[in-house]
Structure 1
Amino acid sequence: MQNIPFDDLTVGMEAETTRLCRADDLYVFANASGNLNPMHLPKADGDGDGVPESIAPSMWVGSLISGVLGCQLPGPGTLYHRQSLRFVGRAQAGDMLTVKVRLIAKGADRKVTFETWVERADGSRIVDGEAEVIAPQRPVRFDAADVPGLTVQYHRHFDRLLELAEPLPAIPTAVVAPEKPDALGGAMLAARHTLIDPILIGHPDRIAEAAEAEDIDISSCRIVEARDHRLAAQAAVRMVLDKQAGAIMKGHLHTDILLGEVIKREGGLRRGGRRISHVFVLDVPGLDHLLMVTDAAINIAPDLRTKADIVQNAIDLALTLGVEQPKAGILSAVETVNPAIQSTLDAAILSKMADRGQISGGLVDGPLAMDNAVDLGAAATKGITSLVAGRADILVAPNMETGNMLAKELTFLAQARAGGVVMGAKCPIILTSRSDDEQSRLASCAIAALNAAGGVA
């Protein structure tokens, strides 16, 4: 940016800029100003008419004028003296706004006066006024490239999953041992959103105590008595086999007890010879698509055959969530095959298996390091030519520890929200954690509902 010093300014000079009012702008202004008026929040109904208003705050619109004065005319080095504003219209998220200033007077002490206004794309004004600023004395050039950017921490991808899943019929779900408030509360929350129709399996007295502790009404729920956790898991599996349930949801019991019943060769829910695996589905702020991480919860040190099943399970899930051509990046520490690093050998073989149709429904490439799996610039720097590199929807970890750390890092350091299910069985299995918030629990149930229904229409 280059300024125009006071001595070079002449009456009649003009400058303008065009700015799209985005929903993100409204969130940023709300946080920066402390003005949380729901009239100005994209999804809130501020006046009770049942429709979100999403009106841009007038002071945000007015602030756009300072951007023209501070960046263009007079530009860097300018300081405000006063500003008058008259609001004659409203802007909403999605409106294209043009901000204009015109120099109308020069005064003492480098003070200059501008006519200022903001108009919509149709030319109608929504703000007009007058600004007096102190113009810079000498030329100044400023490179704005180093100004930090902002990422709005909201989770639009999960919102979309909920929108897609809520119209579906509630999936009958065997909830195993919902004997603590958090376990019961997650299931009932999903029921209120019509994602699942919970069948509560466990010790009736403990379920009742959990309901009383959280003031949850379970009078409409079917309760199946099972006073032992293993018996409860067995009952859930039988209900799926008998077509009474279309999904299983973990409550307050050890995961290995539940999955031990699922993977039994006789009377379990194994689907052919495929191994089951867990898929984390993450909504990462700033990322324009869902990101999946697998396997981070079940297979500790998977061999090649198991990894092939893990990849196929993740691709199958991605397809049901509306990803047209899932791209799976097989992770390692490096992006070249190194015989000393087993994960690079496995990755290369998995890629070739996909080429030969042994893994189907998506694109598979590896080995890829984390950076060139998710960042096009990093992939280009390494000279990687691939339809997956820099664009991966699915990150396949070399082992459970790596996958678990990756998912937790994204959740706790990048503010991602995580849901997920166990795939490879005859029905989706919802594993929730006590640390999951409500949105994550709902997302896991929405993922299971979409998967059980066969995917996004």
Structure 2
Amino acid sequence: MRSAGDKTLGGAETPPTSKYDRLIAAARSGAPALTIVAHPCDAASLQGALEARDEGLIVPILVGPQHRIRDVAQAQGLDLGAVEIVDMPHSHASAAEAVKLVREGRGELLMKGSLHTDELMREVAAGATGLRTERRISHVFIMDVPGHAETLFITDAAINIFPDLDAKRDIVQNAVDLWAGIGLGVPRVAILSAVETVTTKIPTTLEAAALCKMADRGQITGALVDGPLAFDNAISPEAAAIKGIVSPVAGHAQILVVPDLEAGNMLAKNLTFLSRADAAGIVLGARVPIILTSRADSVRARLASCAVAALYAAARRHAASAAAV
């Protein structure tokens, strides 16, 4: 599907209008990222990888039982073309081999197929053979919310259950680096809690205040950070004005840092199911970005996940080349 840049009746190209379409168009303009796809053995995961290939976002290498992958492709009418398939007997072996290929430099991105997230992330997090770095691994939802002017990042709503202050510093920095890496500029980051005042009765307000001071001291870089902020004060200029909050972030936040996984998961799903938002997903902090897709994801969300990861891979590739000069 090519919703961005389609031809009008007069022959001119229309500019991409939605937030996801702009990201997909930007990624399509660069070189596709070599992507290791772990165990794409159902229709949704295989179709997602092949659609991203057809859009020019990624070049997939499929890792899994070859006969199952080919059977799914035939049943769904999917064209595998010249896609490389690394034959592995089952999902655990597929996850281990996919991570191994990334470690060997065969891929810039890792993409989850039809295996459980825990199964893949266990291989990613393995001490001797995984993809860990000094940075805490965290997840970012890239939300396209109808009626909201800007892309929203929500983090972390999928990996860290009750992150401590040090983990939250990495969670914030991962999201900031992604925002800048895909060309969106300097983000406004809101550290969310239930209220906008610091109180010992709500420990997450103390952590929010500490994170803001860490940003002041250069322990978090590349962003405007404010908190604690309640959700309404973070995204609504009117709500922030009523509360008398004067801040470049309040009312205009672009990255929402949630107190814990439960709060983030509920926030993202509320936006998805009540506001009909799309939610793309990326895991950061490992050696390469990891694309997490779900069978419930729309086609646009799957493509947006691949587009964001491809843009970030291109930025990392450019940074590595510049550093080598």
Distance 1:307 1:361 in 2: 16
The residue number in structure 1 matching 2:195 is 334
C-alpha distance after superposition, 1:397-438 (max 9, x if no partner): 101111011111111211222112001111110000101111
The residue number in structure 2 matching 1:407 is 268
Distance 1:246 1:293 in 2: 24
2:46 to 184, 187, 191: 184
Where does the alignment leave 5 or more consecutive residues of structure 2 unmatched?
Answer: 319-325
Give 3-state SS (helix, strand or coil) of 1:309's partner: helix
| Counterparts of residues 287-302 of structure 1 (less than 5 Å) | 287-302=148-163
2:112–2:291 CA contact under 8 A, matched in 1: yes
Distance 1:447 1:394 in 2: 15
Give 3-state SS (helix, strand or coil) of 2:247's partner: coil
The residue number in structure 1 matching 2:98 is 236
The residue number in structure 1 matching 2:244 is 383
Give the deviation of 1:167 after TM superposition: 1.8
The residue number in structure 2 matching 1:373 is 234
Give the deviation of 1:52 after TM superposition: 5.4
2:22 to 145, 157, 160: 160
The residue number in structure 2 matching 1:429 is 290
C-alpha distance after superposition, 1:123-147 (max 9, x if no partner): xxxxxxxxxxxxxxxxxxxxxxxxx
C-alpha distance after superposition, 1:254-304 (max 9, x if no partner): 1011011111121211122x1111100111122222110011111111111
Distance 2:254 2:315 in 1: 19
Q: Does structure 1 residue 270 correspond to structure 2 residue 231?
A: no
Give 3-state SS (helix, strand or coil) of 1:322's partner: coil
Give the deviation of 1:53 after TM superposition: 8.2
The residue number in structure 2 matching 1:51 is 12
Q: Does structure 1 residue 280 correspond to structure 2 residue 170?
A: no
Q: Percent identity?
A: 50
Per the normalisation by structure 2, the TM-score is: 0.93
Distance 1:341 1:223 in 2: 51
2:5–2:25 CA contact under 8 A, matched in 1: no
| Counterparts of residues 117-132 of structure 1 (less than 5 Å) | none
Greater per-residue strand proportion: 1
C-alpha distance after superposition, 1:90-137 (max 9, x if no partner): xxxxxxxxxxxxxxxxxxxxxxxxxxxxxxxxxxxxxxxxxxxxxxxx
Give 3-state SS (helix, strand or coil) of 1:262's partner: helix
The residue number in structure 2 matching 1:213 is 75
1:259 is matched by which residue type in structure 2?
M
Count of residue pairs brought into register by the alignment? 316
1:440 is matched by which residue type in structure 2?
A
Where does the alignment leave 5 or more consecutive residues of structure 1 unmatched?
Answer: 1-40, 55-153
Q: Does structure 1 residue 441 correspond to structure 2 residue 302?
A: yes
1:229 is matched by which residue type in structure 2?
S
The residue number in structure 2 matching 1:313 is 174
Distance 2:13 2:29 in 1: 20
The residue number in structure 2 matching 1:325 is 186
The residue number in structure 1 matching 2:323 is none
Distance 1:43 1:239 in 2: 34
2:190–2:253 CA contact under 8 A, matched in 1: yes
Q: Does structure 1 residue 261 correspond to structure 2 residue 126?
A: no
The residue number in structure 2 matching 1:64 is none
The residue number in structure 1 matching 2:63 is 201
2:23–2:307 CA contact under 8 A, matched in 1: yes
Give the deviation of 1:360 after TM superposition: 0.8
Using a 3 Å threshold, how does the CA distance of structure 1 residues 355 and 160 change in structure 2: closer, same or farther?
A: same
2:177 is matched by which residue type in structure 1?
D
Which structure has the larger Rg? 1
The residue number in structure 2 matching 1:359 is 220
C-alpha distance after superposition, 1:55-87 (max 9, x if no partner): xxxxxxxxxxxxxxxxxxxxxxxxxxxxxxxxx
Greater per-residue helix proportion: 2
